[in-house]
Amino acid sequence: MNDLYARHRNVLPDWLALYYDEPLEISHGEGRHVWDSAGNKYLDFFGGILTTMTAHALPEVTKAVGEQAGRIIHSSTLYLNRPMVELAERIAKVSGIPDARVFFTTSGTEANDTALLLATTHRRSNTVLAMRNSYHGRSFSTVGVTGNRGWSPTSLSPLQTLYVHGGVRTRGPYAHLDDRAFIDACVADLRDILGHTRPPAALIAEPIQGVGGFTSPPDGLYAAFRDILTEHGVLWIADEVQTGWGRTGEHFWGWQAHARSGPPDLVTFAKGIGNGMSVGGVIARAEIMNCLDANSISTFGGTQITMAAGLANLAYLLEHDLQGNARRVGGLLIERLRAVAAQLPGVREVRGRGLMIGIELVRPGTDEADPRAAAAVLEAAREGGLLIGKGGGHNTSALRIAPPLSLTVAEAEEGAAILEHALRSTY
C-alpha cells in the first residue's frame, strides 16, 4: 500500500485529495460492504460519493453490463443507440417535466455545464444565480457557480454569478428566524438582487447541498423563489446529482419538496443512476433543450454499456422500492444518531432526509467549526469498520452519511454503533 501511495503521489496532482492518514485501496465490494487490498472489511456509508446507489456488485447491473459488453461497448451519439433511447424514455417519464428531452453526459460536472450552456443560450444572458455554500462541479463554468470556497480554486469564470441566501438553514443572518420568516427573508434578498442586475439566465440550486454538508432550506423555499423567477423570465435548474432517484426517501427528486409551482425548467443528474458507471445528464423542456443552433454531440455520453447499467439499475430501484427503504431505514438511522448527538457537546446538528444524513461538528461550548474533530471521527470510524464522508462550507466540519439505498435495518444499527463509538472517542 505504501508503494502504491508513493506511486500515486509521483504521477497524480497534489490537489487530488485522498481520505485517511494511511490511504485506502478498495479492492472489491458486495452489497453494502467493501474490502481493502489488505483484506479488511468495511460497511460502506458513502458509496463512492453517493454513486453506488443500489448495492456493490448488484447482479442485475453486472449482468446487464457483461451482456452489453459482449455485443458492443460504444459507438458515440452519431448512431442510433437503443439503450440510450430506452433509458431516456424512462427518465423523461419519471422526471415530471412536460415534453421532456434528455441529454446524457459522463458526469455531474458535465451535466451542470450543459445545463448552464442551455440556460444562458436560451435566455441570452451570462448572469447566473447560485446558492451560497453550493457545489456544482469542477469544470471552468461549474467552479464559477460554486459557492463553497474549499471547492472553488479560481475566481475566473465565463459567467457572472450572484449568490443568494437560503441553502443553509441554521447558519447565516436568517438562522434565528422561523421557517416562514426565513423563506420570506430569502425571497426579499432574491427580489433585491434582481432589482439591481439585468435579468439572469437561471438559478441553479441543489435541493440538499451535498458537498456543503447535506444542508437544506425549509420545504417550499424554491417554490417561493420560482414565483419571483417566473416574473423575471429566469429559469430554474435543479441540481439533482446527489439528491435524485429517491435518496431523500420522501420524494423521488429533491425538488419535489418545493413542488407547489411545478417541476424545474431543467434537472441535472448523475452519480447514483449508473451505480458506479459514468452516467450523467440533463432533462429539460423541448424548447430549452433544442435552443442550440450549432452541432453538439457526445463521444462518451450515452454510450451503450453505461446505458445498459443505468437501465438495469433504475429498474431495480423502482421494482424494489428503494425510495421507500431509504425513507424507512434512513428515518431509523437519523433518529438513532440524533439520540447519540444529544449526549455529545461537539455535535451541533444532525440533519438530512432518507439516506442522506449530515452531522455537523463544532468545538464544544462554541459554534465554531471543528474540522480536526471531523477528520478524527473519519479515522476512528474506519478503524471500527465503517466508511463515511465529510464536507461542509465551514472548514469541512460535517460528516456525510449516504449508504446504498438497499441498506438493511441491521446494517443501519451496526453503522450507527460504530459511528457512536467514533464520536465518543473523539469528544
109 Cβ contact partners less than 8 Å away, ≥ 6 residues apart: 136, 137, 138, 139, 142, 280
Q: 62-319 is classed in which CATH architecture?
A: 3-Layer(aba) Sandwich (3.40)
DSSP-assigned letters across all residues of 322-378? HHHHHHHHHHHHHHHHHHHHTT-TTEEEEEEETTEEEEEEB-TTS--B-HHHHHHHH
Considering just the CA atoms, what is the radius of gyration of the chain in Å? Answer: 21
Q: What is the per-residue pLDDT for 73?
A: 97
CA dist list (Å): 404 to 31, 318, 381, 427: 8, 14, 17, 28
Compute the distance between CA of residue 389 and CA of residue 292 in angstroms, rounded to an integer: 38
**pTM assigned to the model:** 0.95
Each residue of 117-175: pLDDT tens digit?
999 999 999 999 999 999 999 998 999 999 898 888 888 889 999 999 999 999 999 99
Each residue of 223-247: pLDDT tens digit?
999 999 999 999 999 999 999 999 9
- The chain-wide mean pLDDT, for the chain, equals 96
Compute the distance between CA of residue 252 and CA of residue 139 in angstroms, rounded to an integer: 27
pLDDT of 356 strictly over 80 = yes
**DSSP state, 167?**
S
Q: What is the per-residue pLDDT for 1?
A: 63
Domain spans of the chain? 2-57+322-426, 62-319
2-57+322-426 has which CATH code? 3.90.1150.10
Rounded mean pLDDT, 326-330: 98
* CB-CB contact of 217 with 186 (8 Å): yes
Rounded mean pLDDT, 281-296: 96
User: With bands split at pLDDT 50, 70 and 90, how would you rate the model's confidence at 53?
Assistant: very high
* CB-CB contact of 219 with 257 (8 Å): yes
Q: Using CA atoms in the order 353, 354, 355, 361, what is the torsion angle rounded to 10 degrees?
A: 30
pLDDT of 414 strictly over 90 = yes
